[in-house]
């Protein structure tokens, strides 16, 4: 065998540069793709198999293509490989996929002649093909001396699922060999599933029950029990309950999985009946299952467990209440949300956020004035998350005596106010009732202003509010403008960045450095040239380069930006970043800039590497 | 596949986890986990094929207080010893047992769950071995190599009643989950187009490299390494499990690399956890277009993304759009869409939450976010796209019959025989 490798790219022949299937196979010569026959040339691939001296790797790839394109004429040469330990698996790839009766016949013939792993392989293929003509043959293997073949036959018979196949498997549940019994059980379960699929519940139940009575591993018993419950439908509930009452945790767990599949009000009721008698960890598991069952008739029982002594159960009850509850769970959940267990409180808050409907909104607002500070805070947080449009109540709460409540109210206002109410938040930024409220108010204003339908109008309102304010307020409002975005905000930020005040340079370079489109580039370049402090000039230039690097821009603009950056950079670090931009911009112009840059000793190595990258792309 | 309510969207997941903020998972105190977990309440975990990615996954399992990792199996001696050292160092003992043959590790009665992070060649077959042995499974992606394997694996999970989590951890990251929620609950209006990044449209089949002298079986068990893949002589170049038989057949690999993440998120966004797309077209302008039964378009494309990091997705409805990527950030057409919400910005696509979701479900017996049906549907969408790519023509898939419509060649690409005795 020649040690050189051949890369075959048949897709090039198919005319698609994307569908390139790379196959690395040994070959006598490094053949160009164009020299290869197309994958669909079944006759070519068949002839490779017919030639006794074709090397193994060629036969292997031939099998792969014949799996897709081979005709019935390819069956005989493929079948001859089934006894070859090295090529049998390749031949099966083709024979198993072929829709022809000839392929089935070849596999059956081989199953009568082969032994060992090759035999197991063809038995598996017969099972995958669901070859009913193989039932007698497989039944013989099931009873044969080769336990591995017998086990494979058992699974294959289950896949075929013909009545005779399943009868044979039922009998094999009494086989002396544990591994064969185990495989027979698996086959029978697979076969029973197929009976269920064709609505023959009686037969399915018979097979599941047969496995349940057999001397097979607990895993098979559990699988059969699941099937037996589902096959019986509503009548399976008693068997389900039997499992739930077992001390064996695996059977309990399987019962819960099965209950979820069975579904229905009766199942939910049966599970909820178990809540009182089970230990805490099982109560929690039952509650999770009830949540998944999505049947609200059991809510009264779930609510009781919101006050369960065991936090595991409480947590599960909260999740169930979130899934199934209505306004009736608002009070118990609010109590938990304000309680001392942080994890339960978080879960309760989440549940209150998830509960759907206006009735929940109303129930929460009703309780706002009547609650303690912790609960008020929770309700306000929920008002924001649920977007309850109750501006008046929220604004009133923003004047609460407790700072945390005020902050929660401001955040909620940020989530709900409309354009006409933006002034409520602006006022609290420029003239806060309490000094500490300015920051949360500014955050809320940013949240609100940035989602206004007319962003320019929102920006103008903020800009107007900046007039005559102290530095701290202007800084906060510039951050808000950053959140709003758009040309009006950008213009104001640019003006502020060029005003010569370091505090403003700081905030503006930060904000523009994260601008979400390329419009900020000119402003950043201007600030990079004129900011008072070098650190802000550097930051501005880096923001400028970020735009060149990350946004989709015409190549010539990208190159122009890199060129400008090199020109104005005060440090080598930024010049190197500009070279990276050029490296990603394959053009002659980029090469020219890089050639010039290479004359700088600090840049020469990076510039040459970038130029190399550009040339490769060109 | 119509828009669902928020409660139903969240309730679909085991713990009803919050899509916003850090995922709300079962707390330490729930189900017996309080930081001082009794040994009887610990989840005893073993690992199969813990290499580069698996070591990361393992690093997410080990800190969990209710996990006791006790055994590792690898066909490569060096690797199993390295993992044993890592585990022993973590626990300060030398108890981690090593195995070469996965059948031996899953035969242990004390193991509850398996972490499977072999190469893609083994993912489904090893999962099947573990499920049949009664273990719950966390399996790295891509979990399957073809359509038939996806269906068989989902069936097996259902039949065995075990908990299965595909390693598509983005489902459990807040910003991706929120983006999906916006689409799934109708907040973007009527969803019409989704975009997914494939990370390549080239499928690879490892083939048959030059024979080399095989090391002793104890050092590398070549036969077990090949496992379900067709036989070929030993060659150390094949030992890179990440790339070996990634696609398995003539197709595979390709859009499945990131598709198993990004297409998977699109499925979630389209409420299509039980349904693959139904129509696939060959690529044009570096884009593969597919369509779901509800008319929603899926565009698998390489470029044109906002700078939000790797594995980006974008969902477009008639009232807005959202785009998210691995930076942890998302961009929405209107801030109105995120008003009142605090979407935690978690970059770097950690699997921590996803592993915790799996462990919680091992205890609650609920379905984790990346359950087997979801895996099955999203993997089939990727496999079918690859088949359209390979055949270079449009194909149509029927979710009921689980066949391609009127296309024998496409149907012959649905499956690939496994080398005996391995199966799913």
The string of DSSP codes covering A336-349 is HHTSS-HHHHHHHH
From chain B, the residues in CB contact with A458 under 8 A are none
pLDDT on residue A22: 45
Any chain A CB within 8 A of the CB of B411? yes
Please say whether the beta carbons of A505 and A497 come within 8 A. yes
pLDDT in tens, A516-525: 899 999 999 9
Distance CA B413, CA B397 (A): 12
- Per-residue pLDDT of A233-282, as tens digits, reads 999 999 999 999 999 999 999 999 999 999 999 999 999 999 999 999 99
- Could you tell me how far CA B56 lies from the centroid of its own chain? 15
A590 has a pLDDT exceeding 70: yes
Question: For residues A589 and A591, what is the distance between their CA atoms, to the nearest angstrom?
Answer: 5
Q: Does pLDDT of A154 surpass 70?
A: yes
- Other CB atoms within 10 A of residue B400 CB: 6
Residues 6+ apart with CB under 8 A from B324: B175, B176, B178, B179, B308, B312, B313, B314, B330, B331
Confidence at residue A516, expressed as pLDDT on a 0 to 100 scale = 85
Element of type H or E holding B322 = strand B320-324
Distance CA A146, CA A596 (A): 77
Q: CB-hemisphere CA count at 13 Å for B309?
A: 17
Q: Give the pLDDT score at B9.
A: 83
Task: Order the strands of the B67-73 sheet from edge to edge.
Answer: B97-99, B67-73, B43-48, B113-116, B136-139, B164-166
Cα separation, B85 vs B98, whole angstroms: 11
Given a contact cutoff of 8 angstroms between Cβ atoms, the answer to whether B255 and B386 are in contact is yes
Could you tell me if B295 lies within 8 Å of chain A, comparing CB atoms?
Answer: no
**Residue A470 pLDDT more than 70?**
yes
* Nearest-neighbour CA in chain B from A174: distance (Å): 20
Closest-CA residue of chain B to A10: B390
Judged against a pLDDT cut of 90, whether residue A617 lies above it is answered with no
DSSP string, A388-421: ---HHHHHHHTT-SSHHHHHHHHHHHHHH--GGG
Percent of chain A with pLDDT over 70: 94
Residue of A nearest to B18 (CA): A350
Token pair recorded at residue B13: 């997941």
Mean pLDDT of A342-370: 94
Q: Do residues B256 and B379 touch, judged by C-beta distance below 8 A? A: yes
Q: How many CB pairs under 8 A join A and B?
A: 261
State whether residue A277 is helix, strand or coil: coil
* Residue located via tokens 């950053």: A482
With b for 16 or more beta-carbon neighbours within 10 A and e for fewer, the A200-236 pattern comes to ebebbbbbbbbbbebebbebbbbbbbbbbbbbbeeeb
What's residue B109's pLDDT? 95
| Sign of the CA dihedral running B7, B9, B14, B19 | negative
Q: A362 burial class (0-12, 13-18, 19+ CB within 10 angstroms)?
A: middle
Give the tens place of pLDDT for each residue, A477-493. 999 999 999 999 999 99
* DSSP characters over A432-479: -SSGGGHHHHHHHHHHHHHT-S-HHHHHHHHHHHHTT--HHHHHHHHH
Look-up of token digits 């990208």: A558
CB B386 within 8 A of CB B251: yes
Q: Would the pLDDT of A26 be above 80?
A: no
* B304 in contact with A, Cβ within 8 Å: yes
Q: Does the beta-carbon distance from A451 to B132 stay under 8 Å?
A: no
Q: How far is A31 from chain B (nearest CA, A)?
A: 15
Give pLDDT, residue B200.
82
Between CA A4 and CA A27 the distance in angstroms is: 6
Whether A64 and A93 have beta carbons less than 8 Å apart is answered as yes
**Residue B158 DSSP symbol:** H
pLDDT beyond 90 at A405: yes
Distance between CA atoms of residues A81 and A96, nearest Å: 13
Q: A22 has which bridge partners?
A: B204
Return the CA Rg of chain A.
37
User: Taking CA B360 as the corner, what is the angle to CA B358 and CA B366, rounded to the nearest 5 degrees?
Assistant: 80
Ranking A140-149, A193-202, A242-251, B34-43 by mean pLDDT, the lowest is B34-43
pLDDT band of residue A331 (cuts 50, 70, 90) is: very high
Phi, psi of A368 (to 5 degrees): -60, -50
What predicted TM-score, i.e. pTM, was given to this entire model?
0.88
Contact A90 B201 (CB under 8 A): no
Instruction: Kindly give, in sequence order, each residue whose CB lies less than 8 Å from that of residue A573, ignoring residues fewer than 6 positions away.
Output: none
Taking a C-beta distance cutoff of 8 angstroms, is the pair B198, B247 a contact? no
Model confidence at A19, in pLDDT bands (50, 70, 90)?
Answer: very low
Cβ contact A56–B339 (<8 Å): no
What is the predicted pLDDT for the residue at A243? 97
Pick the closest to residue A288 from B133, A379, B38, A278 (CA basis): A278
Q: Which residues of B touch A451 (CB under 8 A)?
A: 334-336, 338-339
pLDDT in tens, chain B (424 residues): 778 888 888 776 665 555 555 566 666 555 554 455 666 679 999 999 999 999 999 999 999 999 999 999 999 999 999 999 999 999 999 999 999 999 999 999 999 999 999 999 999 999 999 999 999 999 999 999 999 999 999 999 999 999 999 999 999 999 999 999 999 999 999 999 999 999 888 766 778 889 999 999 999 999 999 999 999 999 999 998 888 887 655 666 789 989 999 999 999 999 999 999 999 999 998 899 999 999 999 999 999 998 899 999 999 999 999 999 999 999 999 888 988 888 888 999 999 999 999 999 999 999 999 999 999 999 999 999 999 999 999 999 999 999 999 999 999 999 999 999 999 9
Question: Is some CB atom of chain A closer than 8 A to the CB atom of B88?
Answer: no
Mean pLDDT value across chain A: 92
pLDDT attached to residue B339: 85
Chain B residue with minimal CA distance to A553? B304
Cβ separation B6–A355 shorter than 8 A? no
DSSP letters along A477-502, please?
HHHHHHHH-HHHHHHHHHHHHTSS-H
Q: How far apart are CA B181 and CA B347, in angstroms?
A: 19
Per-residue 3-state assignment (H helix, E strand, C coil) for A501-526: CHHHHHHHHHHHHCCCCHHHHHHHHH
Nearest Cα residue to A286 out of A240, A218, A329: A240
- pLDDT interval class at A184 (50, 70, 90): very high
- Of B155, B207, B66, residue with least CA distance to A192: B155
What are A155's two structure tokens? 């699974």
CB of A419 closer than 8 Å to CB of A457: yes
Q: So what's the pLDDT on residue B79?
A: 97
Locate the chain B residue with the closest alpha carbon to A122.
Answer: B420
ipTM: 0.94
Contacts with A, B 357-376, CB within 8 Å:
363-367
> pLDDT category, A286, cuts 50, 70, 90?
very high
Q: Which residue has the tokens 């065998």?
A: A1
The angle that helices A502-513 and A521-530 make with each other, rounded to 10 degrees, is: 150
Strand order in the sheet with A5-8: A5-8, A22-26, B204-208
CA distance A469 to A449: 19
With contacts defined as CB-CB under 8 Å, which chain B residues touch A296? none
* pLDDT reported for residue A422: 95
Q: CA-CA distance, A245 to A170, in Å (whole number)?
A: 29
DSSP state at residue B95:
-
Interface check B248 vs A, CB under 8 A: no
- In angstroms, the separation between the Cα of residue B202 and the nearest Cα of chain A is 5
The first and second tokens of residue B311, run together, are 């594995």
What's the rounded Cα separation, in Å, for the pair A64 and B248? 10
CA angle (A104, A107, A112) in 5-degree steps: 130
């Amino acid at each position: 065998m020649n040690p050189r490798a051949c890369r075959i790219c048949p897709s090039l022949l198919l005319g698609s540069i994307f569908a390139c299937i790379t196959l690395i196979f040994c070959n006598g010569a490094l053949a160009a793709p164009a020299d290869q026959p197309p994958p669909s040339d079944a006759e070519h691939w068949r002839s490779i198999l017919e030639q006794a001296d074709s090397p193994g790797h060629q036969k292997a790839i031939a099998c792969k293509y014949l799996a897709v394109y081979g005709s019935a004429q390819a069956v005989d040469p493929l079948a001859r490989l089934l006894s070859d330990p090295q090529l049998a698996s390749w031949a099966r790839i083709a024979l198993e996929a072929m829709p022809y009766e000839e392929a089935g016949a070849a596999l059956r013939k081989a199953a009568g002649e082969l032994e060992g792993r090759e035999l197991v392989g063809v038995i598996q293929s017969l099972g995958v093909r669901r070859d009913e003509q193989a039932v007698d043959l497989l039944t013989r293997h099931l009873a044969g001396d080769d336990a591995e073949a017998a086990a494979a036959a058992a699974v294959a018979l289950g896949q075929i699922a013909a009545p005779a196949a399943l009868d044979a498997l039922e009998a094999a549940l009494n086989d002396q060999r544990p591994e064969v019994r185990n495989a027979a059980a698996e086959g029978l379960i697979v076969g029973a599933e197929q009976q269920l699929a064709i609505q023959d519940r009686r037969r399915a139940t018979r097979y599941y029950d047969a496995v349940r009575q057999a001397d097979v591993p607990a895993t098979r018993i559990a699988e059969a029990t699941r099937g037996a419950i589902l096959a019986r439908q509503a009548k399976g509930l008693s068997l389900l309950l039997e499992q739930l009452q077992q001390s064996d945790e695996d059977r309990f767990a399987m019962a819960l999985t099965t209950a979820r599949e069975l579904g229905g009000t009766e199942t939910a009721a049966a599970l909820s009946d178990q809540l009182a008698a089970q230990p805490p960890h099982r109560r929690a598991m039952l509650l999770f299952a009830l949540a998944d069952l999505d049947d609200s008739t059991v809510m009264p029982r779930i609510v009781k467990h919101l006050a369960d002594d065991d936090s595991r159960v409480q947590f599960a009850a909260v999740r169930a209440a979130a899934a199934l509850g209505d306004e009736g769970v608002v009070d118990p959940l609010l109590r938990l949300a304000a309680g001392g267990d942080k994890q339960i409180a978080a879960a309760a808050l989440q549940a209150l956020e998830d509960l759907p409907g206006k009735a929940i909104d109303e129930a929460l607002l009703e309780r706002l004035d009547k609650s303690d500070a912790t609960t008020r805070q929770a309700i306000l947080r929920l008002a924001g998350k649920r977007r309850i449009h109750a501006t008046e109540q929220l604004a009133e709460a923003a004047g609460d005596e407790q700072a945390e409540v005020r902050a929660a109210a401001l955040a909620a206002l940020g989530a709900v106010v409309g354009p006409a109410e933006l002034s409520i938040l602006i006022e609290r930024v420029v003239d806060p009732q309490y000094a500490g409220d300015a920051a949360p108010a500014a955050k809320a204003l940013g949240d609100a202003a940035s989602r206004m339908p007319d962003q320019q109008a929102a920006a103008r309102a903020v800009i107007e509010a900046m007039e005559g304010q102290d530095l701290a307020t202007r800084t906060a409002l510039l951050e808000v403008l950053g959140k709003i975005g758009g040309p009006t905000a950008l213009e104001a930020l640019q003006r502020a960045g060029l005003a010569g005040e370091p505090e403003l340079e700081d905030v503006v370079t930060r904000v523009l450095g994260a601008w979400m489109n390329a419009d900020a580039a000119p402003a950043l370049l201007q600030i990079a040239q004129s900011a008072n402090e070098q650190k802000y000039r550097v930051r501005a230039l880096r923001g400028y380069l970020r735009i060149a690097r990350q946004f989709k821009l015409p190549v010539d603009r990208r190159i122009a930006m890199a060129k400008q950056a090199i020109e104005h950079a005060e440090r080598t670090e930024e010049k190197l970043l500009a070279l990276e931009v050029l490296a990603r911009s394959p053009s002659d112009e980029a090469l020219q800039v890089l050639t010039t840059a290479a004359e700088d000793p600090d840049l020469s190595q990076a510039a040459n590497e970038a130029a190399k990258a550009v040339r490769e792309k060109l | 596949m119509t828009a669902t309510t928020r409660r139903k969207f969240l309730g679909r997941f085991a713990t009803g986890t919050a899509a916003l903020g850090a995922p709300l998972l079962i707390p330490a105190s729930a189900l017996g986990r309080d930081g001082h977990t009794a040994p009887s309440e610990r989840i005893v975990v073993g690992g199969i094929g813990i290499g580069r990615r698996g070591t990361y996954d393992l690093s997410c399992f080990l800190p969990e207080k209710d996990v006791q990792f006790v055994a590792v199996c690898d066909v490569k001696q060096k690797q199993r010893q390295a993992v044993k050292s890592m585990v022993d160092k973590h626990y300060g003992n030398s108890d981690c047992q090593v195995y070469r043959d996965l059948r031996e590790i899953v035969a242990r009665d004390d193991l509850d769950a398996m972490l499977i992070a072999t190469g893609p060649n083994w993912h489904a077959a090893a999962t099947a071995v573990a499920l049949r042995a009664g273990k719950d499974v966390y399996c790295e992606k891509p979990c399957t190599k073809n359509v038939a394997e996806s269906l068989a694996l989902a069936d097996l999970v259902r039949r065995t009643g075990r908990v299965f989590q595909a390693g598509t951890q983005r489902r459990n990251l807040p910003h991706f989950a929120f983006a999906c929620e916006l689409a799934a609950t109708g907040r973007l209006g009527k969803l019409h187009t989704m975009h997914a990044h494939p990370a390549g449209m080239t499928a690879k089949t490892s083939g048959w490299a030059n024979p080399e002298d095989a090391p002793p079986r104890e050092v590398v068990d070549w036969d077990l390494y090949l496992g379900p893949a067709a036989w070929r002589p030993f060659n150390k170049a094949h030992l890179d499990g990440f790339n070996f038989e990634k696609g398995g057949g003539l197709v595979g690999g390709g859009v499945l690399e990131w598709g198993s993440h990004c297409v998977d998120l699109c499925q979630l966004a389209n409420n299509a956890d039980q349904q693959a797309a139904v129509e696939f077209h060959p690529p044009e302008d570096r884009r593969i277009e597919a369509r779901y039964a509800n008319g929603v378009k899926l565009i698998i494309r390489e470029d044109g993304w906002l700078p939000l990091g790797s594995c980006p997705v974008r969902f477009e409805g008639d009232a807005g759009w959202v785009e998210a990527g691995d930076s942890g950030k998302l961009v929405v057409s209107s801030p109105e869409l995120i008003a009142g919400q605090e979407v935690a910005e978690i970059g770097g696509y950690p699997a921590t939450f996803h592993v915790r979701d799996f462990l919680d479900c091992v205890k609650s017996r609920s379905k984790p976010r990346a359950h087997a049906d979801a895996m099955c549907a999203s993997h089939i969408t990727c496999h079918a796209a690859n088949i359209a790519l390979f055949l270079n023509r449009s194909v149509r898939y029927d979710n009921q019959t689980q066949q391609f419509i009127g296309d024998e060649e496409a149907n012959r690409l649905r499956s690939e025989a496994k080398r005996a005795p391995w199966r799913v």
